[in-house]
């Protein structure tokens, strides 16, 4: 979001070395190991942001009940709200607390101020409340550039305060950034951070690497689409399937992008690598879509918000990463639980919430637990053994092409490539298509070559998404596949930043559309 007060979601992978003789740290170590094991068992998660600029905000206990009803087990608070932190005590909810931008300026000047903040807002509530991260500010580098000089110091001071409290192993420190810190975002393989911020970002990455933390990123395809002025498909922003002749390809890597969300992630991963850092995971602290608009925001509708958020849930819970990092899950926090109607104009800034303050859903929300692998009620769409290989190949081509399935995981060297046979590859593609599209009429048939099963086909790092079968049957088949998927000499590059440079995009559909992308958008 493009306002001063959007601070939202996250979580992680952890890697740490411990002096096992320091027995006083064993409780924290055991907590950490439990968290890591739980993380790998359940795969990626979807959390939710909770803002409090809300008229008639429900009591904190009611908020906790609503989260349980809708199965959110990870939340991000924009500050350290005392009532909510108390309400989450003795629950399984993992909580990220926020340092406001105003507090960053104070904490960055004083280690004692950082220690006081940690004691008041973290130590006081642990271990009863499961605090797992501190988000330091919100888009500080682009929203209040004068604070950049103290941002890294504030993070270091807060981390030292956690070390003093023996909480540094279970609580990570990071800072959410917008896509605007990336100067050139297409193609993702050549994306780089704005050079004017390189010194600060380099220090940030050093800190994240040293403390085994993660890069917090706010991802808003809504803003990217609006700034694109209709020069690329709305479906690309909404995770909707793209026909094969409109798919988006990085000309350097030949990686296909079916949605703007993944393109933004990869642009960030490549920007990190450009500064010679690796193995720093990204957690998406904010992503969502507004459901009500002003006269000049026609795409902020309930229909689009429903499509985006539910497709986002499916995308995150399939457990894969973006095309360049397919084995890295993309833990994501939805923006946001309640609409913050006390925010200033424009109208769409006020209407991002997924629930009313009475607890009812603004639009249909996918179940989170129904997509967790391993439940006996969970179904998967897989290729039938003994199916005709030609039909399977056609089905695979269609799913990875027109069907919009993310097939990066079955490419050579990726986690689901082996065994290298048509049944395995078709099964993964069929299932990815079905889980994304079943609520929009997608079926598990593929000319009679597919079937639903309750047996989880996941193996090792190859993770299949599962879901509750809404219809009880396979239903009709998608159109008979006739297109083949493969690299093309005509490339359709992705938008990967909320600030789009239209010179970086072109579409296969027409020369007119191609020339439209040579308009510089600021």
Question: Has 286 been annotated as catalytic?
Answer: yes
Catalytic residue among 7, 94, 139, 336: 139
Contact yes or no for 40/331 (Cβ under 8 A): no
Residue 443 DSSP SS3: coil
Encode pLDDT of 506-515 as tens digits.
Answer: 222 233 232 2
Q: What are phi and psi for residue 119, nearest 5 degrees?
A: -65, -40
Length of the chain: 522
Residues 6 or more apart in contact with residue 343 via CB below 8 angstroms: 3, 5, 53, 349, 350
- Preceding peptide of 262 cis, ω within 30°: no
Q: What is the DSSP letter of 59?
A: P
Closest alpha carbon to 328 in 285, 265, 372: 265
- Measured distance CA(366)–CA(268) in Å, rounded: 28
Contact yes or no for 429/410 (Cβ under 8 A): yes
Catalytic residue among 286, 306, 325, 336: 286
In this structure, what token pair is assigned to residue 388?
A: 């005709």
> Which residues of the chain are modeled with pLDDT < 50?
2-42, 370-376, 469-522
Cα end-to-end distance, the chain, whole Å: 16
- Measured distance CA(176)–CA(156) in Å, rounded: 15
Closest alpha carbon to 405 in 287, 320, 281, 330: 320
Residue owning tokens 């082996």: 418
In this structure, what token pair is assigned to residue 339?
A: 């609409």
Contact yes or no for 10/135 (Cβ under 8 A): yes
Contact yes or no for 230/11 (Cβ under 8 A): no
Residue owning tokens 């097939």: 407
Residue 89 DSSP SS3: coil
- Return the sign of the alpha-carbon dihedral for residues 123, 127, 128, 130: positive
């Amino acid at each position: 979001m493009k306002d001063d007060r959007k601070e939202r979601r996250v979580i992680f992978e952890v890697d740490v070395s411990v002096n096992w003789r320091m027995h006083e740290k064993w409780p924290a170590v055991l907590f950490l190991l439990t968290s890591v094991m739980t993380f790998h068992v359940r795969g990626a998660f979807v959390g939710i942001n909770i803002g409090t600029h809300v008229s008639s905000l429900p009591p904190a206990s009611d908020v906790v009940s609503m989260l349980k009803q809708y199965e959110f087990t990870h939340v991000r608070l924009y500050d350290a709200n005392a009532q909510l932190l108390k309400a989450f005590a003795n629950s399984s909810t993992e909580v990220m607390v926020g340092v406001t931008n105003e507090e960053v300026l104070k904490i960055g000047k004083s280690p004692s101020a950082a220690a006081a903040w940690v004691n008041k807002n973290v130590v006081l509530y642990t271990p009863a409340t499961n605090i797992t991260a501190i988000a330091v500010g919100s888009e500080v580098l682009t929203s209040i550039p004068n604070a950049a000089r103290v941002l890294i110091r504030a993070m270091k001071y807060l981390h030292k305060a956690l070390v003093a409290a023996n909480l540094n192993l279970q609580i990570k420190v990071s800072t959410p950034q917008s896509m605007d810190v990336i100067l050139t975002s297409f193609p993702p393989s050549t994306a780089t951070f704005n050079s004017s911020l390189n010194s600060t970002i380099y220090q940030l990455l050093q800190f994240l690497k040293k403390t085994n933390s993660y890069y917090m990123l706010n991802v808003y395809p809504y803003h990217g689409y609006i700034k694109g002025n209709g020069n690329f498909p709305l479906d690309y922003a909404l995770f909707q399937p793209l026909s094969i002749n409109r798919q988006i390809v990085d000309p350097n890597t030949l990686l296909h992008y079916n949605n703007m969300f993944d393109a933004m992630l990869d642009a960030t991963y490549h920007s990190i690598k450009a500064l010679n850092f690796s193995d720093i995971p990204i957690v998406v602290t904010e992503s969502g879509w507004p459901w009500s608009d002003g006269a000049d925001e026609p795409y902020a509708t309930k229909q689009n918000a429903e499509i985006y958020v539910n497709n986002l849930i499916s995308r995150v819970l399939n457990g894969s990463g973006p095309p360049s990092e397919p084995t890295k899950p993309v833990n994501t926090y939805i923006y946001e639980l309640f609409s913050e109607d006390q925010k200033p104009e424009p109208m769409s800034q006020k209407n991002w919430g997924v629930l009313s303050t009475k607890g009812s859903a603004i639009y249909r929300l996918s179940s989170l637990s129904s997509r967790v692998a391993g439940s006996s009620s969970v179904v998967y769409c897989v290729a039938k053994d003994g199916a005709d290989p030609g039909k399977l190949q056609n089905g695979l081509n269609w799913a990875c092409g027109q069907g919009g399935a993310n097939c990066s995981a079955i490419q050579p060297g990726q986690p689901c490539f082996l065994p290298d046979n048509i049944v395995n590859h078709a099964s993964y593609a069929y299932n990815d298509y079905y889980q994304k599209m079943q609520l929009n009429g997608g079926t598990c048939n593929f000319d009679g070559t597919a079937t639903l099963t309750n047996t989880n086909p996941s193996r090792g790092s190859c993770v299949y998404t599962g879901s509750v079968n809404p219809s009880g049957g396979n239903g009709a088949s998608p159109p008979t596949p006739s297109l083949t998927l493969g690299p093309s000499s005509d490339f359709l590059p992705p938008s990967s930043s909320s600030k789009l440079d239209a010179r970086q995009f072109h579409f296969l559909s027409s020369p007119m559309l191609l020339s439209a992308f040579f308009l510089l958008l600021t």
